Amino acid sequence: MGWALIRGWAVLVYIFMFLPVAVVVLLSFNASQFGNFPMTGFSFRWFVELAGNEAILRAFRTSIILGLLTALISTTLGVLASLALVRYRVPGANAISTLLIAPILVPEVVLAVALLLFLNFLGVNKSFGLLLAGHVIFTLPFVILVVQARLVSIKRDVEEAAMSLGASPVQTFFQITLPLMMPAVLAGALFAFTISFDDITGTLFWKPGGVETVPTQIFAMLRNSISPEINALGTVMIVMTVGLPLLGLAIARAMARKSGT
């Protein structure tokens, strides 16, 4: 009796989480002019319009370049720091961890204001560089958390074995540690990319005039009214942000199986 109640509750919560999103996908195939019910028929026309919308394509390009650069920088910094925290005995490791996680604990608006005003004080105007710096600092804690969690499960023995067979530390890193770490590195990079791709609050503060990322473009389009085109864009975003991590998960698993860990 109790368990049935709990299960029923959980099912309702799942419906609550998925229903609004499912409706976005459903309505993106609406043949009608308007992005709402009742649907008049099934059509791909809004996806075709999307593909021809210069502003949206530009926003996609910006978001992808920004996401890739953010992932590259964030993952590099994050992997190095995680290696230090997991592989070495660092005095004050707990305090350092907390320090590196701090950007999550500061409300994003505050982080956005502080960075914007400080860089402006230094003579750096709103630019792609500021946007990139903001995204890096915002994604870094997540990368460190994810990479650290995975790194702990990689045994040290293999590295020691390589060293005892005469490999130098650098050789050991590139031939043993890095390949073993690859799933963690990829997971971190993917996480950074997805968070950067989705960020809107900080981006609205940091982006130079005229530059839009996909979320700020959607936000600007919402000012008018919700159109089938926004729903189509939403569907594309859902496929990207859900599909990419799932793909990443599959790749990470395949790699882990191949390397036998």
Partner 1 sequence: MSVEKREARQPWILLSPALTAVTLLLFVPLLFILVYSFWLRTATGADVAGFHLDNWEEALTDPFYRDILISTLRIAAITTVACALMGYPSAYFIARSQGNKAVLLLLLMLPFWISYIIRTMSWINILGVSGALNSALMAMGIINEPIQMLYNEVTVILGLVHFLLPFMILNIFVSLDGIDTNLENAANSLGATKWQAFLQVTLPLSLPGLAAGGLLCFVLGAGTYITPLVLGGPRDAMFANLVFEAIITQLNWPLGSALSLMLLAVLGALVMIYNRYLGMAQLMKGLG
State the nearest-atom distance from the C-beta of 145 to partner 1, in Å: 4
Binding of partner 1 by 7 (CB under 8 A): yes
106 within 8 A of 43, measured Cβ to Cβ: no
Footprint on residues 10-49 left by partner 1 (CB under 8 A): 10, 13-14, 16-21, 23-24, 27, 34-38
Stretch that binds partner 1, among 44-52, 155-163, 212-220, 250-258 (CB under 8 A): 212-220
Footprint on residues 117-176 left by partner 1 (CB under 8 A): 117-119, 121, 133-134, 136-137, 140, 142, 144-146, 148-149
Nearer to partner 1, 24 or 66 (CB): 24
Amino acid at 229: E
Non-local (6+) Cβ contacts of 143 within 8 A are 74, 75, 77, 78, 79, 188, 189, 191, 192
State how far the Cα of 105 lies from the Cα of 184, in Å rounded to an integer: 23
DSSP annotation of 224 reads T
State the nearest-atom distance from the C-beta of 55 to partner 1, in Å: 16
Per-residue contact flags (x/-) with partner 1 for residues 175 to 194, judged by CB under 8 A: -------------------x
Dihedral of CA atoms 142, 134, 220, 21 in degrees, nearest 10, equals: 0
Q: How many CB atoms lie within 10 A of CB 231?
A: 21
The SS3 assignment for 42 reads strand
- In the list 87, 155, 156, 253, the residue contacting partner 1 (rule: CB under 8 A) is 87
- In the list 200, 211, 255, 256, the residue contacting partner 1 (rule: CB under 8 A) is 200
Non-local (6+) Cβ contacts of 211 within 8 A are 62, 128, 131
Stretch that binds partner 1, among 6-14, 44-52, 64-72, 253-261 (CB under 8 A): 6-14
